[in-house]
Structure 1
Amino acid sequence: MKLEGQVALVTGAGSGIGRAIALAFAHEGALLGVADVDTAGAQETVRQIESAGGQALALDMDVTDEGKVTDATDRLAERFGRLDVLVANAGIQIVHPVEDFPADEFRRVVDIHLTGAFLCTKAAVRHMYAAGRGSLIYMGSVHSHEASPLKSAYVAAKHGVLGLARVMAKEGADHGVRANVICPGFVKTPLVEKQIPEQARDLGISEEEVVRNVMLGRTVDGEFTTLDDVAQTAVFLAGFGSNALTGQSINVSHGWSMK
């Protein structure tokens, strides 16, 4: 098993990409902290891990609340005796033209994606630095490199996540801690499915055109990225053995973005 005995904290793991990563990590032998503001979703992910013979701890975590982030991270490290991997995955999506974007909604998107990643990093590296090892994995997006209409908050946040990861690659190097970003294309999760009618409304086109032209028009094959595509990339980054791969972003996007 590629991650035998490693302890991983995955945020936003109550559904979608986070759940897929948690399940893939458990399959490879990791012990999981399943963090989500949706406690029922987190408990369901734990149930699936345990039913397959793995070990996991459900953690109630609002990633914008420093106290909750720190307490949950410390609980996980105390339960399993270490913390090897952080996957900062929690996120939401809200789309509007800039002129109609409510400021509180803009702040909410940035806080969950970027401030949340920062707070989780701050809590995790205290354990990783003490042990002299660790892997920080951030969930970016093709929008860490590219821009799209209606997504000012999301694009700004995902560009910020990329910058945070690069800083952590430099700060973490002396402590044996690597930092990298996964940049998926469109993955057909509830988050993306919610965007389809919203973008159709705001762009004045059909939902079919949103999928075909906006979401998949720049891919090489017109295909969505899958949950497993992203999860296996996370497994690879978590298990990579040296600082040769740090400060990097990996685009998992069917060619949507090529960097």
Structure 2
Amino acid sequence: MTRLDGKVCVVTGAASGIGKRIAEVYAQAGGLVAIADLRLEAAETVARQIRDDGGDALAVAMDVTDEAQVVDGIARVIDHYGQVDVLVSNAGIQIVNKLTDFSLADWKKMLAIHLDGAFLTTRECLKDMEQRGEGGAILYMGSVHSHLASRLKAPYVTAKHGLLGLARTVAKEAAGYGVRANVICPGFVRTPLVDKQIPEQARELGIGEDEVVRNVMLKDTVDGEFTTVDDVANVALTLAAFETNALTGQSIVVSHGWFMQ
């Protein structure tokens, strides 16, 4: 099994969904995991579950759009564990709407969580990685929408495309001290985020919820299957453990063949 023994791993949005599963898999592989989430109580529950299962985890309150909270949160992780070796910038939300009906506030909120959050957490973790010069891995949770567009998701698609540029820039800037940056691009994963979209898209498109799943979300997969949190977590483990600059600046698509590159 791929191992992360002793590696300190910060996962944002880790109190539920994909982030939670990545944190669990990292802990099972020997990683020391910081569960960073807007909801501290939920983060503490996940951290406690990991510790009960024999892992090592710390809960950290973090609104990734709040610079002070990010600075303080990463500092707390470093104070507790001594360093940061892996960052998974996973925190995200979805708002579905026609572009002409999108409010500027919702547009800014989407970009702030996905892009400002990625920038702020990257900056703080890179400071430690650069100072120590011992390498590291930064992973961004992109999407198939980092490569394709869909109706009703203008800010989400824009933000997920933006993560490709950020990862490639980090890969160039941080290569000298052994830090790799990559983007994981899942297809539709059956999380609460996706469950919320199904009725929203059904209303906007004027079709049934089953049709949204079958003919919108899974239409172009090779097997009509949702991507699973385990699918994504296993790729995140491989990327976190990969030790050379041979694999950096890349987007790895995990989508049951929905998008092929």
TM-score (norm 1): 0.99
Match for residue 45 of structure 2? 44
**Selected match of 1:225 from 227, 238, 249:** 227
Aligned residues: 259
Kindly provide the amino acid, as one letter, of the partner of residue 193 in structure 2.
L
Kindly provide the amino acid, as one letter, of the partner of residue 181 in structure 2.
A
Kindly provide the amino acid, as one letter, of the partner of residue 6 in structure 2.
G
The Cα shift of 1:82 comes to 1.3
**Selected match of 1:134 from 136, 160, 166:** 136
Kindly provide the amino acid, as one letter, of the partner of residue 54 in structure 2.
G
**Selected match of 2:163 from 140, 148, 161:** 161
Match for residue 246 of structure 2? 244
Match for residue 6 of structure 1? 7
In 1, Cα distance between the equivalents of 2:80 and 2:194? 34
Name the % identity: 59
- Provide, for residues 185-244 of structure 1, a one-character-per-residue CA deviation record: whole Å limited to 9, x for no partner: 000000000000000000111100100011000100000000000001000000001000
Match for residue 97 of structure 1? 98
Residue aligned with 2:219, SS: coil
The Cα shift of 1:39 comes to 1.2
The Cα shift of 1:44 comes to 1.3
Match for residue 36 of structure 2? 35
Residue aligned with 2:34, SS: strand
In 2, Cα distance between the equivalents of 1:128 and 1:237? 17
Kindly provide the amino acid, as one letter, of the partner of residue 246 in structure 1.
T
* Runs of 4+ deviating beyond 2 Å: none
The Cα shift of 1:38 comes to 1.0
Equivalent residues in 2 for 1:140-219, closer than 5 Å: 140-219=142-221
The Cα shift of 1:119 comes to 0.5
The Cα shift of 1:251 comes to 0.2
Match for residue 81 of structure 1? 82
The Cα shift of 1:25 comes to 0.1
The Cα shift of 1:245 comes to 0.1
The Cα shift of 1:78 comes to 1.4
The Cα shift of 1:55 comes to 1.1
The Cα shift of 1:16 comes to 0.3
The Cα shift of 1:86 comes to 0.2
In 1, Cα distance between the equivalents of 2:155 and 2:32? 33
In 2, Cα distance between the equivalents of 1:55 and 1:248? 29
Kindly provide the amino acid, as one letter, of the partner of residue 137 in structure 1.
L
Match for residue 112 of structure 1? 113
Residue aligned with 1:45, SS: helix
Residue aligned with 1:230, SS: helix
Residue aligned with 1:232, SS: helix
Residue aligned with 1:105, SS: helix
Between stretches 216-225 and 39-48, larger displacement belongs to: 39-48
Residue aligned with 1:86, SS: strand
In 1, Cα distance between the equivalents of 2:212 and 2:41? 32
Residue aligned with 1:148, SS: coil
- Provide, for residues 74-133 of structure 1, a one-character-per-residue CA deviation record: whole Å limited to 9, x for no partner: 110111111100000000000101011111011101100011000000110001111211
Kindly provide the amino acid, as one letter, of the partner of residue 131 in structure 2.
A
In 1, Cα distance between the equivalents of 2:41 and 2:24? 16
In 1, Cα distance between the equivalents of 2:7 and 2:122? 17
In 1, Cα distance between the equivalents of 2:49 and 2:167? 30
